[in-house]
Structure 1
Amino acid sequence: MRQGPLAGRYPAVATMVTLALIPYLALSAAVDPLVPIISEQLHISAQTMSLGFGLGNAAYAVGTVLAVQFAQHLPQRRMLLAYAVVLVVGSVLAASALNATMFIGGHVLQGLSTSMLLIAAAPPLTIGFPRDKLRYTAVIMNMCVFGAVALGPFIGGAQAEALAWRPLFWIIAAISVAALIMAALTFEDAPPADLDAPRDLKAIGLASIGCAAAFIGAAQLTSHEFTDPVAILPMLGGLALIVALIVYQFRARRPLLTIRTMLTSSIPVAGVGLALFAAAASVAATALTAEVFMQTYSPVQVGLLYLPELAGAVVMAFVFGFVITRRAMHYLPLVGMVLLAAGILVFRMALPANQPLALLASALTGLALGATVAPALFVAGFSLQSNSLQRVFAIIELLRAVAAFMVAPIFAHFAARAAGGLTAGADSALLIGFGLAVGGAVFGVAVYALSGARPQQPDLDQFLDGESPAWYSPPLLARLRPGLPPPVEPQPARPATPAPRHEKPSVPGPVLFAYDGTARAASAIERAAAELPAGREVLVVCVWQPVDVGFTPVAATHFDADQATEVRRVAEQTAAHGATLATRAGFDARSVAVESAPIWKGIVETARDHHASLIVIGPHRRSGLLGHLEGSVAGAVVAHSTTPVLVVPE
């Protein structure tokens, strides 16, 4: 199994995810003040620019579904590299654009690749490492998505003040290149998630056509009335197709997306609904108020007014990291909706040009963003098994993109055409946004109350092992459906199991063979038999981890790489096969499968725990461009082990 020198190292993988998500998400929030400059230099009309950004948002929404489908049948880590390459190509194309085709094409590729990177990289960061890393993942995910968005207005305003746009786009391209480099350095070859999964072209078609039509229709509001057929028909038709996608996936026998499981369980429904209300209200409020402030202040001054949003997002990201292992996690999205409602009201009072109130409103909105969407996403994800996390992320990001990027143009359209002018129209639209924030809070509380759901401390060990959800989520509206069985009382989280203590043996410990199922590892066992005495006690270890797997299955068995229980089972089979090879070679062999990341750490710790007297490992040949970036498990074992290591050459 190929791997990069930083494979399995949490800081490196987290850095890769951060660099992959920042470019498009920051740019989407920074581009508004740059539109006139780009339009003038590239000779693009306002309507064409709006259409281009609409297509980029549509590509972001569709990419979530495509990434889930590709993950089932194609090597996941290789696809992640491909998505990073597409991000670089799109970023360079947009930054060097000479005309509308190059710019819009590059922006569409940016949106498509960003959502695919999110779906491919974020779940492994969440479930592919031990539970003690989860709080850091929560902070990172919050900062990647909402920290980047919150920083966007300031970056865009500062760039617009210089009457230029290419420097920002080239910086975005450079960050994309850094993301590609980190994707290669952290590369760890992994098989497809589930080769038995269906190829659901119908779901992909409904998502693609529905999102494209809906966003194209919303983009037409730049130069058309809401009731014009060129605007309203695509919008309504696209939304109808998205609804059809949800209904189809709900009724499908083997769906691509876990719609049925999510929509029949109370806590996921509350989480998804709250995320949609928050996205629609917050994006619309920021876009509208920024447009009004631009009538009084320069672009950079408007950007400074929204800088407290970043501070609020940072503060709430760390709060989320603190509560993610506690019952309080359930209350955080509700607190966020209250803060969002307060922020929108203060924004109304800040119009048309009250700086202190605008700064306060921006801070409240930043706190609200950090407390709502990402926590609601994890609340929904913890209610299902961990192998569903990728699909949960995909569903929420698909629907969030539709809610956020369609509502904002509609609100802006009606605000601009209000009888009292833009300020009066924005004031009325913000009142609707306040209603959405309050409605989202009421919706979440009502779903919990009518379903009998209760805040619970998550059992993260159980969740990460893939055995069951982190908590019990009763059926939707269980208290109104008398035919359902009584709710199951949630069980307290299991205490952490202490690591076994081993007494130092008085006789030499076993020889440990690192076996990953490859022919190279099997050859190392055979070669070592010629160097070691027959009948020697040996322990064959296969190191595994969810998603990235870490070994090559010895049997042509299809399994779900996102399901820790299945990966463990196949790893145990692979280790047992290695023990059979060792027995045939004349050793007294037994096997063990160990979950660990990175792989070398699992080998070293297993050798220490079993007091191994020798570690035997066979390094893999590395060739090609990626081979020059690859690290060596054998080299890492030698560097970190206090047990003697025998490296069997090819």
Structure 2
Amino acid sequence: MRQGPLAGRYPAVAAMVTLALIPYLALSAALDPLVPIISEQLHMTTQTLALSSGLGNAAYAVGTVLAVQFAQHLPQRRMLLVYAVVLVVGSVIAAAAPNATAFIAGHVLQGLATSMLLIAAAPPLTIGFPREKLRNTAVIMNMCVFGAVALGPFIGGVQAEAHAWRPLFWIVAAVALLALILAALTFDDAPPADPQAPRDLKAIALATVGCTAAFVGAAQLTTHEISDFAVTAPMFGGLALILTLIVYQFRARRPLLTIRTMLTSAIPVAGVGVALFAAAASIAATALTASVFMQHFSPVHVGLIYLPELGGAVVMAVVFGAVITRRGMHFLPLVGMALLAAGIAFFMASLPANVPLALVGSALTGLALGATVAPALFVAGFSLQSNSLQRVFAIIELLRAVAAFMVAPIFAHLATRYSGDLVEGTGIALWVGFALAIGGAVFGVAVYALSGARPQTPDLDEFLDGDSPAWYSPPLLARLRGLPSAAPVPAPRAAPAAHRHPSQPSGPVLFAYDGSDLARHAISQAAQQLSPYRHAVVVCVWQPVDVGFTPCDSQPFDSDRASQVRQAAEQTAEHGAALARAAGFESCSLAIEAAPTWKGIVEAAHEHRASMIVLGPHRRNGLLGHLHGSVAAAVVSHTDIPVLLVPQPADAPAHERPPIRREAGVVSAR
């Protein structure tokens, strides 16, 4: 594997990520004051420029999905170099554009390359270095995204004051070139993530067509009414395709994006929801008020009004870095939503031209942005294993792009068309933004409360090692659905010294639990044979259609729907964990989709570093009755971990396991 001279050096990698993300994000925020100048010099209409921005934002959203797909099948670091090259090419084309077509093409390439760089480079920066670097990474990620956005209006105002736009674009191209140079210097060859993963062309097509249609439709609001077919058909059709993408990925057996895992777990749903509310609400606090201030002040003056937003983003980035290893990071997005609501309130009071109030509103908005989206992203990411972080970033950035970039033209349309008075219309739009900020805070708190989720200190060692999430996230709305919501006792690497027998192994006992009476008997017998104070992991292995376990209740479910089978398996595993706790173990539950069953058991045992596997093998008739069952035999032959086989009681019937009945895809125990 080839390496660059700066490979593995955190400062160089961090600088590369920073330089790769800032150009497009800062440029997007700087374009508004430059619209008249670009329109005049390239002979573009305002509608064409709006279409250019819409297509660039659509490319940014689509790039998140493409980057995940490419990472599965292509060498990841080599692709990062390709993305950096595309960013440079797009930036040069846009800066040197002789006409509208070239300008739009360059801007689209910039948006596409930036999101792909984010997905390819940011997760390795987060999990590829020791935990003490994570604070710095949190600050960098916050500043790359929201510091750049906060700086954009000032940069755009300075450039507009000079009645030029190309110098700014050439500076962006130079920064992109520096990012490419650092990408080459920090190159550390890495293989594809999963060459056997399916090529999900359907997901890519849905994302591409859906995002393009939705953003093009929203861009039409510059010259069309919201009720016009040219707006509603592509915008709502595109949103329908994006929703179809989410449903398709939720139901897919081997999804490209981890939608199912995220949307069935409480803390990721809360994090993603808060991020979307914040992204949508913040547009009302910045873009709309800027259009009002432009009627009273010069572009540079307006840029200075928004400069405190950068200061607020810097302060909150440092705060985020300080709390990322603590329980308090759960509360940071909530604080951010409150600050965002306060910032919008000050902006409302500042209209049409109260500079002191606008400065306060700008500072509060900067603090809010630094406290909401990036922290919420990490809150969601910490709830899953670190090998899912790339896909978590992709999902959040895809949805955030839709929420933020599509809301902007809708709010602008509302402000200009509501009453014919820009100040009054902007005030109404700001009220909508204020309601979104409050609604986002209520949503996050409600999800935590109704799911039984509790703020926890992240276990970053486990997370960075890839062994488990940084904390436990209960099932979504667990309390309403009657599911266990309390965090199970984790399986630590070693039992407390005061309670551990000198010869007791340090790893947990792993129980393979399929809901049968024999599996229950194995747990009770193991409790009598093993030392007390043992930790245990109770695993239920499942597959769609074949199921592979007996549900712990008599409620039927559709065996062809993976989501229903998975939910039943989780309930069955938790039932087994409750039995283990009653037998004296400190246990947690785990449901795994795997085929064949033995493979899931063996992989779970190795992943949790189990010291023993306990099985209750099912008795077979004839010659096979003298063996211990195909699953047990396969487990024994595929692991070096000790396996305890607990046979059926002598008085048990030969076929004690309740049979599974399938009728038109529906299964139930009887």
* CA shift for structure 1 position 566: 10
The answer to whether the 8 Å contact 2:161/2:300 transfers is yes
* Residue in structure 1 matched with residue 63 of structure 2 by the alignment: 63
Once the 2 structures are TM-superposed, how far is the Cα of residue 487 of structure 1 from its aligned partner?
A: 2.4
1:197 is displaced (CA, Å) by 1.2
Q: What CA deviation, in whole Å up to 9, does each residue of 1:433-469 have, x standing for no partner?
A: 0000000000000000000000000000000111110
The 1:486/1:428 distance shift into structure 2, 3 A limit, reads: closer
Q: Does the CA contact (< 8 Å) of 1:450 and 1:477 recur in 2? A: yes
8 Å contact kept, 1:81–1:184: yes
Structure 1 pair 168/486, CA: closer, same or farther in 2 (3 Å)? closer
Kindly indicate whether residue 289 of structure 2 is the aligned counterpart of residue 281 of structure 1.
no
Q: Which residue of 1 aligns with 2:241?
A: 241
**Mapping of 1:140-289 within 5 angstroms?**
140-289=140-289
Whole-angstrom CA distance in 2 between matches of 1:328 and 1:490: 21
The 3 A distance-change label for structure 1 pair 312 and 55 is: same
Aligned to 2:416: 416
Give 1:417 deviation, angstroms: 1.1
Q: For residues 126-145 of structure 1, what are the structure 2 equivalents within 5 Å?
A: 126-145=126-145
* One-letter identity of the residue aligned with 2:298: S
How much has 1:283 moved relative to structure 2? 1.9
Secondary structure of residue in 2 paired with 1:199: coil
1:261-340 equivalence runs, <5 A: 261-340=261-340
The match for 1:461 is 461
Task: Select between 180-189 and 283-292 the one with higher mean Cα deviation.
Answer: 283-292
Moved over 3 A (4+): 489-495, 565-569
Alignment deviations for residues 581-603 of structure 1 (CA, whole Å, 9 cap, x no partner): xxxxxxxxxxxxxxxxxxxxxxx
When structure 1 is superposed on structure 2, of 209-218 and 283-292 the one drifting more is 283-292
The superposition leaves residues 488-530 of structure 1 with CA deviations (integer Å, 9 ceiling, x where unpaired) of 34659999xxxxxxxxxxxxxxxxxxxxxxxxxxxxxxxxxxx
Amino acid in the other structure paired with 2:168:
L
Asked if the contact 1:457–1:492 (Cα under 8 Å) also holds between the matched residues in 2, the reply is no
Q: Contact 2:467 / 2:608 at 8 angstroms: preserved in 1?
A: no
Q: Which amino acid aligns with 1:41?
A: Q
Give the counterpart letter for 1:89 in structure 2.
V
Write the distance in 2 (CA, Å) between the matches of 1:150 and 1:494. 44
Aligned-partner residue type, residue 108 of structure 2: V
Q: Distance in 2 between matches of 1:417 and 1:63?
A: 33
Q: What whole-Å deviation, never above 9, does each CA across 1:585-630 have from its counterpart, x for those lacking one?
A: xxxxxxxxxxxxxxxxxxxxxxxxxxxxxxxxxxxxxxxxxxxxxx
Q: Name the counterpart of 2:20.
A: 20
Give 1:418 deviation, angstroms. 2.2
Q: Give the counterpart letter for 1:351 in structure 2.
A: L
1:255 partner SS: coil
What letter corresponds to residue 10 of structure 1 in structure 2?
Answer: Y
| AA at the equivalent of 1:72 | Q
Kept in 1: contact 2:475–2:485 (CA 8 A): no
Secondary structure in 2 matching 1:353: coil
State the shift of 1:37 in Å.
0.1
Aligned to 1:485: 484
The residue type paired with residue 350 of structure 1 is S
1:33 and 1:299 in contact (8 A); partners too:
yes
Measured in 1, the distance between the counterparts of 2:394 and 2:385 equals 15
Amino acid aligned to 2:468: S
- Partner letter of residue 229 of structure 1? F
Q: Residue 333 of structure 2 aligns to a residue in which SS? A: helix
Distance change in 2, residues 1:493/1:567 (3 Å): closer
1:43 is matched with which residue? 43
Whole-Å separation in 2 of the counterparts to 1:219 and 1:174: 29
Cross-structure match for 1:606: none
How far the C-alpha of 1:285 sits from its partner, in A, is 2.1
Mapping for residues 343-492 of structure 1, pairs under 5 Å = 343-482=343-482, 484-489=483-488
Q: Distance in 2 between matches of 1:9 and 1:174?
A: 23
Shift of 1:284: 2.8
CA distance in structure 2 between the partners assigned to 1:227 and 1:66 by the alignment:
33
Which whole-Å CA distance do the structure 1 matches of 2:368 and 2:111 have between them?
24
Amino acid at match of 1:252: A
- The unaligned stretches of length 5 or more in structure 1 are 496-562, 570-650
Q: Deviations over 1:543-587 (max 9, x none)?
A: xxxxxxxxxxxxxxxxxxxx9x99999xxxxxxxxxxxxxxxxxx
User: Is the Cα–Cα contact under 8 Å of residues 266 and 474 in structure 1 kept in the other structure?
Assistant: yes
Amino acid at match of 1:449: A
Asked if structure 2 preserves the Cα contact closer than 8 Å seen for 1:382 and 1:471, the reply is yes
The alpha carbon displacement at 1:94 in A equals 0.3
Q: Partner amino acid for 1:485? A: P
Counterpart position of 1:511: none
Q: Provide the rounded CA distance (Å) in 1 between the counterparts of 2:445 and 2:140.
A: 27
Q: Is the 8 A contact 2:69 2:256 kept in 1?
A: yes
- Contact 2:288/2:426 (CA < 8 Å) preserved in 1? yes
Give the Å deviation of 1:414.
1.3
8 Å contact 2:474–2:485 — kept in the other structure?
no
User: Quick one: which amino acid aligns to residue 67 of structure 1?
Assistant: A
CA contact (8 A) 1:274 1:333 kept: yes
CA gap of 1:494–1:156, structure 2 versus 1, over 3 A, is farther
Report the CA distance shift for 1:178/1:493 in structure 2 as closer, same or farther (over 3 A).
Answer: farther
Q: Distance in 2 between matches of 1:461 and 1:135?
A: 14
Indicate conservation of the 8 Å contact 1:458/1:493, yes or no.
no
Q: Secondary structure at the match of 1:457?
A: coil
The aligned residue for residue 577 of structure 1 is: none
**Structure with higher RCO (Cα < 8 A, 6+ apart):** 1
Q: Which amino acid aligns with 2:37?
A: I
User: How far did residue 174 of structure 1 move?
Assistant: 0.3
> What one-letter code is carried by the residue in structure 1 that aligns with 2:283?
V
CA drift at 1:198: 1.1
What is the CA–CA distance in structure 1 between the aligned matches of 2:378 and 2:140, rounded to whole Å?
13
- C-alpha change, 1:48 and 1:267, in structure 2 (3 Å) is same
Question: What SS does the corresponding residue of 1:441 show, helix, strand or coil?
Answer: helix
Alignment CA distance shift 1:201-1:164 (3 Å): same
8 A contact 2:77–2:188 mirrored in 1? yes
Q: Is the 8 A contact 1:457 1:493 kept in 2?
A: no
Q: What is the Cα deviation at residue 194 of structure 1? A: 0.8
Q: CA deviation at 1:215?
A: 0.2
* Cα displacement string for residues 77-125 of structure 1 (whole angstroms, at most 9, x for unaligned residues): 0000000000000000000010001100000000000000000000000
Give the Cα separation in 2 of the matches to 1:493 and 1:426: 55
Alpha-carbon displacement from aligned partner over 1:219-246 (angstroms, at most 9, x marks no partner) = 0001111000001110000000000000
Whether the 8 Å CA contact 1:459–1:493 is kept in 2: the answer is: no
Separation (CA, whole Å) in 1 of partners of 2:233 and 2:352: 34
In the alignment, does 2:5 pair up with 1:5? yes
Percent of counterpart pairs with the same letter?
80
- How many aligned positions are there? 501
Say if 1:448 and 1:454, in contact at 8 Å, map to a contact too: yes
Any idea what SS the aligned residue of 1:337 has? helix
Partner secondary structure for residue 455 of structure 2:
coil
Paired letter, 2:411? F
**Aligned equivalents of 1:418 and 1:65: distance in 2?**
36
